[in-house]
Amino acid sequence: MEIIVLSRSQACQYAVDKIAQVLTQTNGKATLGLATGGTMTPLYAKLCQSNLDFSHATSFNLDEYVGLAPDNPQSYHYYMNDQLFFKKPFWKSYLPQGNTADAAVAAKAYHEKLVTTPRDLQLLGIGENGHIGFNEPGSSPTSITRVLPLTESTRRANSRYFDDEKAVPTHAISMGLSEILAAKQIILIAFGQKKAKAIYQMTQRPPHPDCPASFLQNHPNTVVLCDTAAASLLK
Q: Is 179 a catalytic residue?
A: no
CB of 178 to ligand PGA, least distance (A): 18
CB of 10 to ligand PGA, least distance (A): 17
CB of 207 to ligand PGA, least distance (A): 18
Q: Is 63 a catalytic residue?
A: yes
Q: Is 129 a catalytic residue?
A: yes
Segment 32 to 61, residues that bind ligand PGA, using CB under 6 A: 37-39
The H or E element containing residue 113 is helix 103-115
Length of the chain: 235
Q: Which of 33, 42, 96, 125 binds ligand PGA (CB under 6 A)?
A: 125
Q: What is the rounded CA–CA span in Å between residue 174 and residue 134?
A: 6
The H or E element containing residue 145 is none
Q: Is 112 a catalytic residue?
A: no
CB of 167 to ligand PGA, least distance (A): 17
Angle at CA of residue 219, ends 140 and 61, nearest 5°: 70
Longest Cα–Cα distance in the chain: 49
* Catalytic member of 61, 64, 77, 131: 131
Segment 94 to 123, residues that bind ligand PGA, using CB under 6 A: none
Q: Which of 95, 126, 175, 198 binds ligand PGA (CB under 6 A)?
A: 126
* 212 lies in the site for ligand PGA, by CB under 6 A: no
Distant-in-sequence, close-in-space partners of 39: CB < 8 Å, separation ≥ 6 = 125, 189, 190, 191
Burial of 17 (0-12, 13-18, 19+ CB in 10 A): exposed
Residues in contact with ligand PGA by CB under 6 A are 37-39, 125-127
Catalytic residues: 63, 129, 131, 136
